[in-house]
A and B are shown apart, each in its own frame.
Chain A
Amino acid sequence: DAGVTQSPTHLIKTRGQQVTLRCSPKSGHDTVSWYQQALGQGPQFIFQYYEEEERQRGNFPDRFSGHQFPNYSSELNVNALLLGDSALYLCASSSRGSIYGYTFGSGTRLTVV
């Protein structure tokens, strides 16, 4: 049974570019949440998707957007990249109605140069 799969694992982009990160949730999970962990910082909640809609959002600018597809997979898009967007981006999936919390992917390491 596959867990949460994220792609790519590493990515290097130039300032001003746009990036799309992808996440496939664990089988049976319907909710996907995205987190950003900058070096030396704790994880910061970006947003959560359920039923193809953004349900919650953290304190991130509109440059950060997302999408959830009918198969529950999700994308995180970041426009107009800044150097400060360099971080590990984690995707976590969960199942509505279950108390067992999230299963996390291994993350995508984004470096903006």
Chain B
Amino acid sequence: ILNVEQSPQSLHVQEGDSTNFTCSFPSSNFYALHWYRWETAKSPEALFVMTLNGDEKKKGRISATLNTKEGYSYLYIKGSQPEDSATYLCASTIANNDMRFGAGTRLTVKP
């Protein structure tokens, strides 16, 4: 994998559903993996920074895991709420400090 790739591109779920999406990134020269939440008309908000293989981070109903050996991270949202609707961006920083973003997963939670 040469670029950061996120899937799915968009996702529609019902309120209360749990959901997850994937970020794939180059595993060579890995330095850090970042997740951001970007709500419409607002600035992207940093959610997590992970650096170690096996890292797990949690913030309320949102959690993330990291596998640096195979180059992927999962973001989980438990019991989705309409206010979770946003674009979720992941970004990988490699050893030379270049930070590469994925295209984002656009989540819509329907009441």
Contact = CB atoms under 8 A, between A and B. Distances in A.
Interface stretch (B20-28, B56-64, B74-82, B89-97): B89-97
Given A99-B49, A101-B49, A33 B99 contact: yes
Nearest to A96: B97
Nearest to B9: A42
Contacts of B32: 99, 101
Contacts of B42: 106
Contact of A97 (B89, B97, B103): B97
B51 A99 contact: yes
Interface in A85-109: 90, 92, 94, 96-97, 99-102, 104-107
Contact of A44 (B38, B51, B103, B106): B103
A20 interface: no
A99 B43 contact: no
A90 B44 contact: yes
Interface in B66-111: 87, 89, 91, 93, 97-101, 103-106
Interface of B is mostly: strand
Contacts of A105: 43
Interface residues of A, number: 24
B87 A43 contact: yes
B38 A43 contact: yes
A63 interface: no
Contacts of B46: 100-102
Contacts of A4: 43
Interface string B11-50: 0000000000000000000011010101000111010010
Contact of B31 (A42, A56, A99): A99
Contact of A106 (B43, B98, B100): B43
Interface in A37-79: 42-45, 48, 55-56
Interface of B: 9, 31-32, 34, 36, 38, 42-44, 46, 49, 51, 87, 89, 91, 93, 97-101, 103-106
Q: Which 9 A-B pairs have the closest CB atoms?
A: A42-B104, A104-B43, A99-B32, A101-B34, A104-B44, A96-B97, A42-B103, A42-B87, A106-B43
